[in-house]
Chain A
Amino acid sequence: EVQLVESGGVLVQPGGSLRLSCVASGFTFSNYWMSWVRQAPGKGLEWVANIKQDGSDKYYVDSVKGRFTISRDNAKNSLYLQMNSLRAEDTAVYYCAIAGFWGQGTLVTVSS
């Protein structure tokens, strides 16, 4: 059974930093591009970042470029999202995903 389990979401002050993690199981993690997608409260889905199987290519939505960094550790079947200079508008549930499967999400709240 495919599972994606996110963690790391908390309440953080504007300007702060946070690292999200996602542990994958039930499939060959190193064979897949991985993605982070977020959903602000009551809003739709927004793709945030993608990373290639070996980590050599990374892509970001414009609003997080220069602030967020996606990475992975294939030995640990883990995906990460380092989030710096956080803003109120980054408040959202963050999902780890491949096209066919999504995690349950982890809530990031940016507020003073």
Chain B
Amino acid sequence: DIVMTQTPLSLSVTPGQPASISCKSSQSLLHSDGKTYLYWYLQKPGQSPQLLIYEVSNRFTGVPDRFSGSGSGTDFTLKISRVEAEDVGVYYCMQSKQLWTFGQGTKVEIK
């Protein structure tokens, strides 16, 4: 089974400042088809998770460009260039190379 490990588990950010979340997988997420199946989700309070980034670095429809994803193999990062109040919630990374596995989640709050 692929294990996903996120750091940090919580983050307090001043509005307008950047934020970064790391996600490491226990195995490479590079599939034989050439794609890397790493996703980032945000679960806002009281809502279902919403997709932010797919296949490492592709922003999903409607996602602001202050969100960016990077990485390869087993190490991945989600960056928010300038945090806004609406960005609060829990961020999850997920792999779908072998079934689905989620990271523990990173709770982001505003200072």
Assess the B48–A99 pair: CB atoms within 8 A: no
Chain A 82-112, CB-CB to B under 8 Å as 1, else 0, gives: 0000000000000100011111110000000
Chain B residues within 8 Å of A78, by CB:
none
Contacting pair A99 B54 (CB below 8 A):
yes
Q: How many residues of B are counted as interface, with CB atoms below 8 angstroms from the partner's CB atoms?
A: 20
- Nearest residue (CB) in B for A104 is B48
Classify chain A's interface size.
10 to 19
Q: How far is the CB of A43 from chain B (nearest CB, A)?
A: 9
Q: Is the CB of B51 within 8 A of A46?
A: no
CA distance A47 to B100 in the complex (A): 6
Pairwise interchain contact B105-A99, C-beta atoms closer than 8 A: no
- Kindly state the separation between the CA atoms of A102 and B102 in the bound complex, as whole angstroms: 15
- The main secondary structure of chain B at its interface with chain A is strand
A47 contacts B101, C-beta separation under 8 Å: yes
Q: How far is the CA of A21 from the CA of B54 in the complex (A)?
A: 26
Chain A residues contacting B76 (CB-CB under 8 Å) are none
Expressed in whole angstroms, the Cα–Cα distance for A105 and B43 within the complex equals 13
Identify which of residues 30-59 in chain A touch chain B, using a CB-to-CB cut-off of 8 Å: 35, 37, 44-47, 50, 59
Assess whether B92 is in contact with A44, with CB atoms less than 8 Å apart. yes
CB distance from B22 to the nearest CB of A (A): 16
Compute how far the CA of A47 lies from the CA of B39 in the bound complex, rounded to whole angstroms.
14
Residue interface mask B73-111, A partner, CB < 8 A = 1: 000000000000000001010101001111111000000
Min CB gap B102→A, angstroms: 4
The 4 closest A-B pairs by CB, nearest first: A47-B100, A102-B48, A45-B102, A44-B105
